[in-house]
Structure 1
């Protein structure tokens, strides 16, 4: 096989070239220096990183583990706040005072302190109950409770500590009614007086009303609320006896008793309202 000029080494071919040993030596030296530089640079980089980490650890421990950290250390998830802090409403544990009951006022002498007068209990010149009108006549007030009571009513008032009786007379046609509001210290005393009461409250004439219900048949009622007892006597204005089948005097007595009850409760409500406002 013929390769021509410049073919393989051997018979008929050219001689192999002689290597340049000096150049090869220089190349090998350069390669060795490059490897050392790479190794040395990597080692320096590793050493620098280790120094940074060591510095971070040292800075983090400068306070003895009390919590100061360098920027390279982050808090753990457990140390992060779970929710943003929000202010919660606060409430007082002091309850507001309970409203005072009107019945409580008129059952307790220390709370029922408003003046007790005929003008206060029986204001105006008339009373209307269920559409029936009654004209007011004479009024009177006394602390001698026995002086305005007869028969069973006398011991009922005097025996239970009655302090005052306020009376007023109302008329409707030929019927007249006297109502007396008796004042006691306690509700219990008023209830005892009511239970023991019987005839009769002494009628109160005057202001155009003649004497009535004196030594003759009349209608009477008795009741109590709080520390007040209220009693009525009703009869004919001409002094004649009330017949057993006649209902006008009876109705008049019930109406004026209801009027007295409403006046006592109005007194109670006014004082309860004033006490609540004062609180």
Structure 2
């Protein structure tokens, strides 16, 4: 599901091949997977480069519904602002710097960050599947939207911002979480120490999923200074199972989409710098 440890193989020119980058990422996703199925005792392992995917019994506290932000004790958050969420597009240039250089250092990656800006505000299509985007949030407290074990890891590595977005297709729901760090090294270290995951952000209060004690699927990966996570499960707090390819495919699709959004951010920054140069 990813290019290994934030490196894009074969990048030698000053004009990055964006299609090749995406193809390499997709090939890695098909080639290198590890699935740890919890709750039923089944274990299937294969060689993994960067992605970690697990099916586990969820713990911690249940996540917030999209309309539950700002309750007692809640961390300061920012919700989607559709009027301000258009990510800039830049035409290709022959002298664009490497986008990974911008995504790896907060001193270069200076564009505004919030859930709506990173994920967009429209429903998304990945392959043949369309997913409904129901909401998202942004908080500077990286411990508030994740399990306690992961919160400790994010805090240790200096996480400065955490964003979530909620997607659904049929009975499957996904919460995507993105933790932002000052440097790529800190994001890589956080991924290496991942324990627990992002808490569920249901499509609505009437459609809970992945409450504590429910079997759901998690993935974790990093690129540049971003650690991106998914939590995928079934509406109604139903347990996911080993053979549920809808859960697996939905989580993988949204992890891929999130990766592409992060790359797009770096591409925009690199191409803007190339124009100025």
- Assess same fold via TM > 0.5: yes
SS of 1:235 mapped into structure 2: strand
SS of 2:196 mapped into structure 1: coil
Tell me if the contact between 2:174 and 2:231 (Cα under 8 Å) persists in the aligned partners: yes
Query: RCO (CA 8 Å, sep 6+): is it higher in 1 or 2?
Result: 2
Report the Cα offset of residue 117 of structure 1: 1.5
Backbone CA RMSD of aligned residues: 1.5
Give CA deviations for 1:104-135 in whole Å, capped at 9, x if unaligned.
01101111000001221111321111111111
- Hey, what's the Cα distance between the residues in 2 that align with 1:102 and 1:193? 21
Give 2:102's aligned residue.
Answer: 105
- Hey, what's the Cα distance between the residues in 2 that align with 1:129 and 1:123? 14
SS of 1:176 mapped into structure 2: strand
Larger Rg: 1
Q: Is 1:126 aligned to 2:118, yes or no?
A: no
Give 2:136's aligned residue.
Answer: 139
Report the Cα offset of residue 165 of structure 1: 0.7
SS of 1:152 mapped into structure 2: helix
Report the Cα offset of residue 99 of structure 1: 4.3
Runs of 5+ consecutive residues of structure 1 not aligned to the other structure: 1-97
- Hey, what's the Cα distance between the residues in 2 that align with 1:250 and 1:138? 21
SS of 1:193 mapped into structure 2: helix
Tell me if the contact between 1:143 and 1:165 (Cα under 8 Å) persists in the aligned partners: yes
1:160-175 equivalences in 2 (<5 Å): 160-175=157-172
- Relative to the length of structure 2, the TM-score reads 0.63
Q: Select the structure that is richer in helix.
A: 1
Q: Select the structure that is richer in strand.
A: 2
Tell me if the contact between 2:168 and 2:203 (Cα under 8 Å) persists in the aligned partners: no
1:195-214 equivalences in 2 (<5 Å): 195-207=192-204, 210-214=207-211
Report the Cα offset of residue 159 of structure 1: 1.3
- Hey, what's the Cα distance between the residues in 2 that align with 1:230 and 1:111? 20
Tell me if the contact between 2:123 and 2:130 (Cα under 8 Å) persists in the aligned partners: yes
Tell me if the contact between 2:166 and 2:201 (Cα under 8 Å) persists in the aligned partners: yes
- Relative to the length of structure 1, the TM-score reads 0.63
Alignment length, in residue pairs? Answer: 182
